[in-house]
Amino acid sequence: MSFAVIKTGGKQYKVEVGDKIEVERLEFKPGDEFDFNEVLLIGDDNANIATIGKPMLEGAKVRAKVLEEGKSDKKIVFRYTRKTRYKKKKGHRQPFTKVEILSIAA
């Protein structure tokens, strides 16, 4: 089974064909297909072969399909300073895009 390491949203993800992952919000609508062009590594588990880019692989693409967009669960940010009666509570919901990996091309 081949796999790839892609970079998107400042993070790196190890993906295989058929994986469904949540990444930072992308500018695509649900149902759109697109390519991840920033591929760092392509490997094959069966043959124990890996092709590593310096830093990116030239001409490598990972095809993906947008499944849905949404917001993750709420994270609570709480500040407290003792003896001064200072409290501040904020919440944050990070937007995400859920994608399915369709193919990996070297």
pLDDT per residue of the chain (106 residues) written in tens, 0 to 9: 799 999 999 999 999 999 999 999 999 999 999 999 999 999 998 888 899 999 999 999 999 999 999 999 999 999 999 999 999 999 999 999 999 999 999 8
- Give the strand order in the sheet containing 2-8: 11-16, 2-8, 39-44, 49-52
pLDDT score, position 18: 96
